């Protein structure tokens, strides 16, 4: 299936170098990359090799190339359009984001701080203390895997039993929070993007295949959300389905 390109290939090395330079901030979002000629000099490779590296970054959605101008770091896409639905939960199964998964590997739990990527999820600024749990889930019957991440602000956990069991299942987390008398509501958002190289490797995703990203944010009636869950699955193998029934007081949809 997903033909694994040789990682030691010259153009892959160049692509990795540029990738690192971007994440290191040398080329911030929107900034132009060095021209092909400059990259040739910088890395002492031929033009086909440079172009191959650029093509790899392009197909990851990391950069954008404009004929006659140059290559530019693609800004993190902020969805300008959100298609909203308001729904009421009726299902009771203890599923992770609506599906029963097995945990393929022990969860990785760590403390960190909110970043520009994770902060907005929880409506927090950058640099706030955060407890993160990463899981690799598996559905053996479908032969699929998924990446699951739970993010909870440390301020929410502090003083609760959760502080002593940071590797708890999401279900237990919600049960604890509900037991603490919180009245929970949720928002779920479905989006899609091209996977990053590590995500492709972890999920075994073949090229030109996007990932579905489902984010669930939990509220308890206070100003800020108290937790966020993120689920990444191969979009070629998985979909998210909603069975809908009209409430008696609701007219027909559309």
Partner DNA sequence: TATCATTTGTTCGTATGTATC
Partner DNA sequence: CGATACATACGAACAAATGAT
Nearer to a second copy, 159 or 254 (CB): 254
The torsion region of residue 36 among left (phi > 0), alpha (psi -120 to 50) and beta comes to alpha
Span 134-173, contacts to a second copy by CB under 8 A: 139, 142-144, 169-171, 173
Interacting partner of 95 out of a second copy, DNA, none (Cβ under 5 to 8 A depending on kind): a second copy
Q: Does residue number 10 form part of the binding site for DNA (CB under 7 A)? A: yes
Q: Which two tokens stand for residue 55?
A: 């093509």
Sorted by sequence, the CB contacts under 8 Å of residue 238 that are 6+ apart come out as: 142, 144, 146, 212
- Residue 51 near which of a second copy, DNA, none (CB within 5-8 Å, type-dependent): DNA
Stretch that binds a second copy, among 55-63, 110-118, 125-133, 155-163 (CB under 8 A): 55-63
Choose between 129 and 138: whose C-beta lies nearer to a second copy. Answer: 138
71 forms bridges with which residues in the sheet?
65
Query: Can you tell me which of 20, 46, 115, 191 binds DNA, judged by CB under 7 A?
Result: 46
DSSP sequence for 207-220: TT--EEEEEEEEE-
Q: How far is the CB of 2 from DNA (least distance, A)?
A: 11
- In the shown chain, the binding pattern of residues 194 to 233 toward a second copy, with x for contact by CB under 8 A and - for none, equals x-----------xxxxxxx-x-x------------x---x
Run of H or E residues at 151 = strand 144-153
Shortest spacing between CB 143 and DNA, in angstroms? 19
Strand-pair category, 144-153 with 211-219: unpaired
Least distance to a second copy, CB of residue 176, Å: 10
| Contact present, 222 and 156 (Cβ < 8 Å) | no
Phi, psi torsion values for 163, nearest 5 degrees: -60, -25
> Is residue 26 close enough to count as binding a second copy by CB under 8 A?
no
Give the CA distances from residue 224 to residues 20, 136, 137, 253, in Å, rounded to whole numbers and listed in that order: 33, 28, 28, 31
Tokens linked to 218 = 């939990």
Among residues 24, 66, 117, 223, which is the contact residue for a second copy, using CB under 8 A?
66
Q: How far apart are CA 108 and CA 216, in angstroms?
A: 19
Distance CA 33, CA 22 (A): 9
- Looking at the Cβ atoms of 81 and 223, the one nearer to a second copy is 81
Q: Report which DSSP code applies to 92.
A: -
Taking residues 212 to 251 in sequence order and writing x for each that binds DNA by CB under 7 A, - otherwise, the string is ----------------------------------------
117 forms part of the interface with a second copy (CB under 8 A): no
Stretch of 67-75, 126-134, 160-168, 228-236 contacting DNA, by CB under 7 A: 67-75
Residue 59's binding partner out of a second copy, DNA, none, with CB under 5 to 8 Å set by partner kind: a second copy
């Amino acid at each position: 299936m997903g033909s694994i390109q040789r990682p030691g290939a010259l153009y892959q090395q160049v692509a990795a170098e540029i990738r690192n330079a971007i994440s290191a901030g040398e080329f911030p979002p929107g900034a132009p990359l060095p021209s092909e000629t400059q990259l040739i000099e910088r890395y002492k490779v031929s033009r086909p090799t440079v172009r191959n590296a650029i093509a790899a970054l392009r197909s990851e959605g990391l950069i954008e190339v404009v004929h006659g101008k140059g290559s530019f770091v693609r800004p993190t896409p902020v969805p300008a359009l959100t298609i909203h639905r308001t729904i009421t939960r009726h299902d009771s199964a203890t599923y992770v984001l609506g599906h029963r998964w097995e945990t393929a590997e022990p969860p990785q739990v760590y403390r960190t701080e909110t970043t520009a990527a994770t902060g907005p999820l929880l409506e927090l600024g950058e640099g706030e203390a955060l407890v993160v749990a990463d899981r690799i889930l598996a559905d053996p019957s479908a032969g699929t895997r998924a990446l699951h991440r739970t993010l909870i602000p440390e301020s929410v956990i502090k003083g609760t039993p959760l502080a002593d069991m940071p590797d708890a299942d999401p279900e237990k987390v919600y049960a604890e929070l509900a037991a603490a008398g919180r009245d929970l509501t949720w928002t779920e958002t479905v989006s899609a993007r091209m996977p990053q190289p590590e995500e492709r490797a972890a999920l075994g995703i073949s090229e030109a295949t996007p990932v579905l990203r489902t984010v669930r944010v939990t509220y308890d009636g206070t100003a800020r959300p108290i937790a966020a869950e993120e689920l990444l699955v191969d979009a070629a193998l998985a979909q998210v389905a909603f069975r809908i029934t009209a409430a008696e007081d609701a007219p027909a949809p559309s």
